[in-house]
Amino acid sequence: MDAANPQEQLNAKLRARFNELPKVIQNAVTSADVEKQLRVLADTNKLHLDQWQLLENEVMLTLFGFQPAEELAANLRADLDISAELASSLAADISKIVFEPIRAELERSLDNPQAADAQTSAVEEVGRQAIAAEKAAAGPPVAPATPPQEPNTEKVVRAPVSESYKAGETSAARKSVHDDPYREPPQ
């Protein structure tokens, strides 16, 4: 059995599991927003890069359903080698920033009557309205382009024509090649 085969098997299992997930969870897995939020969480808790990567792996394994969400704190404590308090704090924060929005979106997509409407703060709403007004006032976006080149105003000065050049005569037939820059004189 070659070394690439287990990796290929793992990738195939991950792809198959990803395809089985609801669209909301697929969007969360592929979203850069989740990664960014986990990075901020790792920075605020002063986790090293390798710990952050393990944290992200644990969250992804939980999103894929390979590990139960209830065991996230214990898994974080074991894998990241951190205290129980920090692990439970991280698990609570991850639940709030990753799992709760997914749960709410799943409830909305299933038309659950108790589902909460999408939450946006007043600041976000004002910001969205301001951006929409700016776009409307600005008109169509201007595509970036290379500015046109300035027209040439100088006259091109050509080198003088060789005295040995005669129209219609091949260069191999010329006897005098002393001023031809492309030919060496015969030996």
For 45-78, what is each residue's pLDDT tens digit?
Answer: 888 888 888 888 888 888 778 888 888 888 888 8
> Which tens digits make up the pLDDT trace of 75-131?
888 888 888 888 888 888 888 888 887 788 777 777 655 544 555 555 556 656 666
Q: Own/partner pairs for 53-56, CB < 8 Å, 24+ apart?
A: 54/79, 54/80, 55/80, 55/90
Q: Distance between CA 88 and CA 71 in Å, rounded?
A: 10
Q: Distance between CA 69 and CA 96 in Å, rounded?
A: 12
Return the higher-pLDDT residue of 74 and 5. Answer: 74
Q: Distance between CA 51 and CA 73 in Å, rounded?
A: 14
End-to-end CA distance of the chain: 69
Average pLDDT over residues 5-20: 81
Strands annotated E in 32-158: none
Write down the pLDDT at residue 58. 85
